[in-house]
Structure 1
Amino acid sequence: MDKWIYGYDAKGKRLNHLHIRNYNDNDFERLIEVQKKAFPPPFPSDLWWNQSQLQEHISIFPEGCLCIEVEGIIAGSMTAMRCTVDDQKDHTWEDITGNGTMRTHDEKGTELYVVDICVDPEYRSLGLGSQLTQAMYETVVHLGLDRLIGGARMPSYYKYEDEYTPEEYVNLILQSEIHDPVLTFLFKAGRSPVRPIAEYIDDKESCNYGLLTEWKNPFK
């Protein structure tokens, strides 16, 4: 993937040189910095990328390793691997991604599974997450896969846990009655809910839930 695009900030100022490309070992330090800024405590620090994980990503499946630059500075990344998921069986982020190493990547997998997406908070007004997501949709189509799928955090759910089930919470987000910084973004970016999974990830804000979401390849 090597894609140059234009972007606009919240005030409509044009920004040149938005660049989506595959990340490499020269990018590791900045990618880890973005992770730390994008996922501050109480998000578990042991879930931030480290050098060895990133090295495995680009060695195992470089096509699924994307970053986006703004004026030459990496401002976000998205990582995915191939697999085949049974929607009816629970899984954890740790198990399906090999604890973030992508050693569970399956070259014959019919789906692209999102391991991670993050954007530096300083650049979040530019729609970079949507640009990365669209680029990964293009990867799904290019590889002839069935869909993009992944478990999403539900970081506002802890506010509503005593009031709504996870399913009710998701429905209220779909109806725009509740805003969730991750799920609202994903739904606007074209993802559809499959079902919540309990104990998907160690994440107090999400009450350890993850919402399985998908985008189906329209050409399949």
Structure 2
Amino acid sequence: MGKKRKIVVLTGAGMSAESGLRTFRDSNGLWEGHDVMEVASPQGFYRNPELVLEFYNQRRRQLLEVSPNAGHIALAALEKEFDVSIVTQNVDNLHEQAGSCHVVHLHGELLKVRSTADESYVLEWKKDLVLGDLDNNGNQLRPHIVWFGEMVPMLQTAVEITVQADILIVIGTSMQVYPAASLINYVARDTPIYFIDPKPSVNPREFENLTVMSMTATEGVPALVAELTS
């Protein structure tokens, strides 16, 4: 049996939206009624940590009530025939719940927290996080989320994975969020790229082997997986 071909999947908010998770922000830039910088920046956390902690507590509670959708499940099934790595902008764990084994979270993980003083001190966390929840040295814990203005520590790992792609699949992301959007430039020019999004924002002329599927994740991903595994 030969080596499995490598599929790299880039996923964004549209991947999880159909599971009932609200997408990142609405058209006026507000996120659940908050200015994004209030709840997703180090400065916002410094100014009003209780607001930020409660914002993520609500996201975490919501995540614990939803399930992977048909798109997540179809991607997990791809692993039977391909070597699949998923690079996601999403902070939920729905890919893992569906059974995907190799998932890189560019923007952090909602079900983890970390020390405000030591980035390597990370804990699994499913309950609310409040002021007074501390690490072993008495430092406040914070969401394990990459906020605006912070480094994206998993970016280099994501680049190293993306350059290996025999096939690239992009699902539910506008490809406008940098540095994640730059990943598409790391695949070889002749690599087949599939772009699944109901309102695709990619220019087909920019890429040689681009197939655009103007569908939601729950429609497009199972259709593409059926095609790739037939």
User: TM-score category by the smaller chain?
Assistant: under 0.3
In our comparison, the structure showing a higher alpha carbon Rg is 2
Higher relative contact order (CA 8 A, sep 6+): 2
Superposition TM-score, scaled by structure 2 size: 0.27
User: Which protein is richer in strand relative to its size?
Assistant: 1
